[in-house]
């Protein structure tokens, strides 16, 4: 092994795929749970905006996962499956809280049941999906090289043309186009790794 070269560290989460969680040592179980917690906390808190609810969703997701984890070929495949389980738990949380709100409202306020509901469940799921996707895109953007991040922000956030970007960065339009292409490709790669699709 060459000096100074770090070997990739395998995630403890991947142990879920090949081992009986309940047969693992308490210390290893704790480490796996902590890694899972770190992996899913940010996207969940972003969605539900409530720490206690986030912790409940994480715990319920983890219980469901350890009882039905599939064999995964690699860590990326496992993490994609974990995201789906967590996403479904967030949907369930929103369905339950919406139902509870409706029950409270129906006790105190007359509701015309023939009127269309303002939020269909499918649109609620889409809203959750969009928020999760937006969070993932923000994370991907933050992980880009500063040069690429600046180009993307100039092009899409400030809506500058290639010529305006070239002027601002004192370079050529061709160089801007080339670097933006590279920045988009880097974003796509990072996003597909995180989103798992």
pTM, two decimal places: 0.50
State residue 51's pLDDT score: 87
- The CA dihedral of 36, 42, 47, 50, to the nearest 10 degrees, is 90
Q: How far apart are CA 152 and CA 17, in angstroms?
A: 37
Helices (H), the chain: 15-18, 26-48, 51-68, 75-108, 121-143, 146-152, 162-169, 173-195
Q: How far apart are CA 85 and CA 80, in angstroms?
A: 9
Q: Could you tell me what percent of the chain has a pLDDT over 90?
A: 2
The DSSP secondary-structure symbol of 9 reads P
Q: Is residue 120's pLDDT more than 50?
A: no
Minimum mean pLDDT among 85-89, 113-117, 163-167: which range?
A: 113-117
Q: How many CA atoms lie within 13 A of 182 on its CB side?
A: 14
State residue 196's pLDDT score: 58
In order of their start, the domains of the chain are: 9-101 (1.10.1740), 144-196 (1.10.10.10)
118 pLDDT band, cuts 50/70/90, is very low
Q: What is the mean pLDDT of residues 30-35?
A: 88
Q: How far apart are CA 115 and CA 175, in angstroms?
A: 56
As a residue count, the chain comes to 197
Collapse the DSSP code of 74 into the 3-class scheme (helix H, G, I; strand E, B; otherwise coil) and give the result.
coil
Q: Is residue 117's pLDDT more than 50?
A: no
Tens-digit pLDDT profile for residues 121-134: 456 666 677 777 77
Structure tokens at 59: 């715990």
């Amino acid at each position: 092994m060459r000096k100074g070269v770090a070997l990739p560290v395998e995630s403890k989460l991947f142990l879920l795929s090949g081992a009986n969680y309940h047969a693992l040592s308490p210390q290893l179980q704790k480490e796996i749970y902590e890694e899972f917690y770190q992996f899913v906390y940010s996207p969940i808190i972003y969605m539900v905006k409530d720490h206690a609810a986030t912790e409940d969703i994480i715990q319920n997701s983890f219980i469901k996962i350890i009882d039905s984890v599939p064999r995964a070929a690699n860590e990326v495949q496992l993490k994609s499956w974990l995201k789906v389980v967590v996403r479904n738990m967030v949907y369930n949380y929103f369905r339950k809280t919406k139902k509870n709100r409706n029950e409270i409202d129906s006790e105190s306020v007359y509701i015309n049941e023939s009127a269309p509901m303002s939020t269909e469940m499918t649109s609620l799921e889409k809203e959750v999906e969009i928020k999760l996707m937006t969070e993932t895109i923000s994370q991907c953007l933050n992980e880009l090289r500063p040069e690429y991040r600046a180009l993307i922000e100039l092009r899409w956030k400030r809506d500058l043309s290639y010529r305006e970007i070239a002027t601002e960065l004192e370079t050529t339009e061709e160089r801007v186009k080339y670097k933006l292409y590279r920045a988009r490709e880097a974003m796509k790669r990072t996003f597909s790794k995180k989103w798992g699709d």
